Amino acid sequence: MPKKLSSAVVGGLAVGLTLPMTANAAAADTAPMNVAPLPTAGVDAPATSLAGLSGVDISATRNATQFRYPIAQRAYSYTSPYGARCMPTQGASTSHLGQDLGAPDGTPIYSVADGTVVRTFTGNRYNAGYVVVQHRVDGKTFHSAYYHMWNANTHVRIGQTVNAGQTIGLVGSSGPSTGPHLHLEIWEGAWINGTSHNPTTWLAQRGVNLRSGATSVWNITTPSSCDYYTVTSTALRSTASSSGSVIMWLGAGAALTAAPGDTSNSMVRVNANGRTGWVAHSSLTPTRPAGGGTVPAANAPQGTSVTPAKYRITTSLNARSGPGTNYAVLQGLVSGTEVTVTATYGSWMKFSRNGQSVWSHSDYMDKVAAPVAPTTAASGTYQVKSGVSLRARSGASTSNSIVKVL
């Protein structure tokens, strides 16, 4: 899927959010701990509540009757549209609740209608900055939200009344972003917790045509499937919850597929090695991360065959396509997982799991002792020793009742 902006449109890209994470190259090759998720405030990873966000609550009485372009006509490109999509960069949404307008850094942003500023947030590399304006339109409350500003307080303050067409900020590229642009959202009722509207449709109904006002229109189509990779070792869970049961562990760089917009509760439904489950949104990237394996699996040695034996994993461990850290991570193993080893190569062990032939380092695999078979006395004729009183019981235990004294 094309990225939202090109250097030809914006004159250069801002700092991105793709943070390559390499697997630990130590001999044990243990799977790294999950990194903390990216901050969730902002357009592409909206907060689940408004707790802790600076703002005011008002009851607007002035009814907005005039509507304006959020960026001057012929000063922007009409890019990533409203609706389901493949995330264009790590941290970006796959359910796009706004319309993107590409423009150079510092381009003025205007309020689309009369209203009052109720929220501001200054952005940074990880969080999308924004200004939120509350409006009264046809007797209903609406909020317009303007994202990816670097500094949200260059032109307005919380509680300030603004007019349609008034400058409220400047285009930036803060948070999950592929380049400078305005991401515009329209909410009926509460911001984030209300009803989301397509900004293009909402403004067109009020005389503002975002498409005709653009210098170019990117007719981006929604693909049937998205390709993603894990940025670190992460769990594939059975439900869209961080407490859902673990189906399997995925190593860093694992290749996944997903349907555009198939997300819930900050989790994305994915297919991994034929298994379907949910992965934390913050653990996914559309770009193959560095360190995901450089040697093709076809070049992996077969190793020396051994008598199949069970081993138990003693820590979170990467399972790779070959016997070495230069092979791709295919799966992640949780402590306590039992596998059957069929071959070895140096300190590496080969086994099959979830339909794949994989390798892990033996330092964190303990052999499972074979169960001890119960001993059975040989049948035959025996004589009680002279001078010994012997009790015959109803079963093979001293707790069974005595049936006869010999």
Q: Which of 3-12, 154-163, 361-370 has the lowest mean pLDDT?
A: 3-12
Position 25 confidence tier, pLDDT thresholds 50, 70, 90:
very low
* Measured CA angle at 151 (ends 70, 5), to 5 deg: 55
Residue with tokens 């801002």: 14
3 has pLDDT over 50: no
Q: Which of 27-36, 142-151, 277-286 has the lowest mean pLDDT?
A: 27-36
Instruction: Please provide the size of the chain in residues.
Output: 406
Q: Give the mean pLDDT of 167-171.
A: 97
16 has pLDDT over 50: no
259-286 per-position pLDDT tens digit: 999 999 999 999 987 889 999 999 999 9
174-211 per-position pLDDT tens digit: 998 889 999 999 999 999 999 999 999 999 999 999 99
Best-predicted range by mean pLDDT (86-90, 123-127, 208-212): 208-212
39 compared with 240, residue with greater pLDDT? 240
20 has pLDDT over 50: no
pTM for the complete prediction? Answer: 0.62
Average pLDDT, the chain: 80
Alpha carbon distance 44, 47 (integer Å): 9
pLDDT at 169: 97
Instruction: Find how far residue 69's CA is from the centre of its chain.
Output: 34
Indicate the helix (H) or strand (E) that contains 104.
none
Instruction: Find how far residue 209's CA is from the centre of its chain.
Output: 34
pLDDT at 347: 85
281-321 per-position pLDDT tens digit: 999 999 887 655 446 677 788 889 999 999 999 887 888 88
- Enumerate domains of the chain plus CATH numbers: 1-17+41-222 (2.70.70.10), 226-285 (2.30.30.40), 297-367 (2.30.30.40)
Q: Give the mean pLDDT of 34-45.
A: 29
Alpha carbon distance 394, 346 (integer Å): 55
